[in-house]
């Protein structure tokens, strides 16, 4: 069975990965409980400072002896143009007024070199703390970084949203690749064709077999998978396992804001949309007031991570006020399947359901 | 096995339906060969006149003794405003110049009552010619039409792109429902929320289990399915069978324009997009010159079928010149899996592949 390549390589019982959602969702408890239940817990460390990362790794190591992983954002060159920042900030001023927030004009925007430096520091922590698995989104790290991580026996997972991105991940030496369908919540993890319209994004049912035909490393399916049916279907399509975000986001152990969990649990499947208004990068979330208000400005907003920094005060204030209208409520399209449950129940039920469907787990 | 409900009800050997692609793709040979191979052939009769429909039914009956079906478009009220027609026509004039076509200002646009009358005549032919299966897109027919068809023992299939549309199809008395994911080529078959943005469209991996949880009639999966892997995955997600368009479109028996087949066979999976420029209704096709040129006009184009009539001369001229730049090259997202093959080979390989994946066909 090819499937065993993935679980064997990751040293886990079940081919189920908890997606490394950034922004505080992946608490130490969520990560550790997933690994303890036989899956792979992952720290969403994209936005985290090196010391934060180190502290969380140590905390998780106290909660589990099983392997867990970490995800980092690969920096991509971006523009910090005064003009686009000013235009975006003008649109955001209207939003700030609605939240009674003061105007802002100094954001302490980092430039590309600073972001690159921070990424290198994150990598060093991963190596020093001996995290066994490291995954990447938004790009493929340099050959130097890949070689260094491999020297330390760290298993590497890339992210792809197209066949071409999967091929490039394999060519760069990734051990496996997460293939993200259009159903997925949160940021699109791809890196080629950033200008793509949302209707270019390929659904998982279509993308998976096309990717598995094109590469030989194990493929992990992501996007809209919530239960044993999705796991079984993914394996029929050639994947060796799944990575799930939304299914873990509403778990009791997740650090998602209660208002965020509530929103995901209450909407129908067609109430999420792509937006780049929160961060400058396309991401799927619950359609809310902020997204609708920013829709007409979307084309000229600055790139990630500039726009993300610009909207920080807004998202923070909205969270503090439990106001879902201005929060980034990332969610995949399978909202009707989301449940408030423990990680253990989620994984146990999934495995039982997949086995019933004749899938060899 | 629940699956048997679908194949038993349709009296077919394999749970594989050839999608009723309109516009000349579903030749009598394509329909009959599909049914002869154990699947269900379907006439895409949406645009056809009653006499054409009658002739094709008789022709197919000579080629197969197996059941086959027919698809009709359910008329929805639409606006024929002078203003939107003029604005659209102005944008199309630029296109006509590129094709050396004369300007047009008289299109013989039908109004809603005429379209409704034509639909009723189509229904009468289906009844008179005793076509055993009738499917519907773009809406649910009236209770009168449904009752009349049922009285004649015709099996009825609806189309849904959301859970709510599936629920309404079941409530209206449909015997089964085709659930169309965002991967699907050609027109979106839904009817609620016509203004929806494309990123609202739900991927099949996510949509199928949410629909099968909500209704009890058999569900047929559609969108991006091309082979036994897609059939097996759909059944894991709760569907009882599949409907495939693109997989049949490139078959040797299909009536698709050779330039259309060639385009589908040559593009990568991320080169299709949604457009409403051709017909006034959202549809997925190969991104070409026409779509890109019309992109900025998309918002104000008149509704289906008005825009479809406006672009008729352009599509016709482009076809005659073998010019893919201005043709509606409908295609789903699984283009890398498309093959030039016979219907018999397609179905035989699918069934063998699905069986290997432990699916009970």
Which pLDDT belongs to residue A217?
97
Each residue of A298-329: pLDDT tens digit?
888 999 999 999 999 999 999 999 999 999 99
Residues 276-295 of B with CB under 8 A from A: 284
Print the domain residue range for B13.
Answer: 4-356
CA distance B69 to B4: 18
Each residue of A109-125: pLDDT tens digit?
888 999 999 999 999 99
Q: How far is CA B22 from CA B27, B47, B121, in A?
A: 10, 7, 18
Chain B residue with minimum CA distance to A334:
B206
pLDDT category at A360 given cuts 50, 70, 90 is: confident
Q: What percent of chain A has pLDDT over 90?
A: 87
Q: Cis (ω within 30 of 0) for the bond into B305? A: yes
Residue B300 has phi, psi (to 5 degrees) of: -100, 5
A306, part of any domain: yes
- Record: contact A206-B237, CB cut-off 8 A: no
Q: B155-193: b or e for each residue (b if 16 or more CB lie within 10 Å)?
A: bbbbbbbbbbbbebbbebbbbbbbbbbbbbbbbbbbbee
B104, part of any domain: yes
Which pLDDT belongs to residue B2?
47
A280, part of any domain: yes
B170 lies within 8 A of chain A by CB: no
Each residue of A190-235: pLDDT tens digit?
999 766 656 689 999 999 999 999 999 999 999 999 999 999 999 9
What value does the mean pLDDT of chain B take? Answer: 94
A138, part of any domain: yes
Residues 198-237 of A with CB under 8 A from B: 198-207, 209-210, 213-214, 223-227, 229-230, 232-234, 236-237
Nearest-CA distance A227 → chain B (Å)? 9
Q: Count the domains in chain A.
A: 1
pLDDT category at B281 given cuts 50, 70, 90 is: very high
Burial environment of residue A88 by CB neighbours within 10 A (0 to 12, 13 to 18, 19 or more): buried
- Record: contact A199-B162, CB cut-off 8 A: no
B361, part of any domain: no
A358 lies within 8 A of chain B by CB: yes
Is 70 exceeded by the pLDDT of residue A102?
A: yes
- Record: contact A233-B238, CB cut-off 8 A: no
B269 lies within 8 A of chain A by CB: yes
A27, part of any domain: yes
Instruction: Name the CA dihedral angle for B305, B323, B70, B33, rounded to a multiple of 10 degrees.
Output: 180
Question: What interface predicted TM-score (ipTM) does this complex get?
Answer: 0.96
Contacts of A225 in chain B (CB under 8 A): 205
Residues 315-344 of B with CB under 8 A from A: 332-334, 336-337
Pick the closest to residue A73 from A287, A279, A290 (CA basis).
Answer: A279
A361, part of any domain: no
A345, part of any domain: yes
Q: What is the CATH number of the domain that holds B267?
A: 3.20.20.70
Q: What is the CA radius of gyration of chain A?
A: 19
């Amino acid at each position: 069975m090819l499937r065993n390549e993935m679980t064997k390589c990751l040293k886990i019982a079940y081919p189920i990965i908890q997606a490394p959602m950034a922004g505080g969702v992946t608490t130490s408890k969520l990560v550790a409980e997933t690994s303890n239940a036989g899956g792979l817990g992952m720290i969403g460390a994209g936005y985290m400072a090196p010391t934060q990362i180190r502290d969380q790794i140590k905390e998780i190591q106290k909660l589990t002896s099983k392997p867990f992983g970490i995800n980092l954002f690969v920096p991509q060159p971006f523009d910090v143009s005064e003009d686009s920042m000013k235009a975006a900030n003008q649109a955001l001023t209207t939003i700030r007024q609605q939240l009674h927030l003061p105007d802002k004009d100094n954001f302490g925007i980092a430039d590309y070199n600073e972001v690159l430096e921070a990424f290198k520091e994150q990598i060093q922590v991963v190596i020093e703390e001996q995290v066994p698995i490291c995954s990447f989104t938004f790009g493929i790290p340099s050959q130097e970084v890949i070689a260094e991580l491999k020297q330390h026996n760290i298993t590497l997972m890339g992210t792809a949203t197209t066949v071409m991105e999967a091929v490039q991940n394999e060519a760069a030496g990734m051990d496996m690749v997460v293939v993200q369908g259009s159903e997925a919540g949160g940021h699109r993890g791809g890196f080629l064709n950033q200008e793509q319209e949302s209707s270019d994004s390929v659904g998982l049912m279509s993308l998976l077999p096309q990717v598995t035909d094109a590469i030989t490393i194990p493929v992990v399916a992501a996007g809209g998978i919530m239960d044993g049916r999705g796991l079984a279907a993914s394996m029929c399509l050639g994947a060796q396992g799944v990575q799930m975000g939304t299914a873990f986001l509403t778990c009791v152990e997740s650090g998602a804001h209660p208002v965020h969990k509530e929103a995901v649990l209450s909407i129908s499947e067609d109430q999420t949309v792509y937006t780049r208004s929160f961060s400058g990068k396309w991401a799927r979330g619950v359609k809310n007031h902020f997204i609708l208000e920013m829709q007409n400005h979307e084309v000229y907003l600055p790139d990630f991570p500039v726009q993300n920094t610009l909207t920080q005060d807004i998202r923070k204030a909205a969270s503090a006020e439990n106001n879902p209208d201005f929060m980034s409520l990332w969610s995949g399209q399978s909202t009707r399947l989301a449940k408030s449950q423990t990680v253990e129940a989620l994984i146990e039920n999934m495995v039982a359901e997949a086995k019933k469907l004749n899938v060899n787990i």
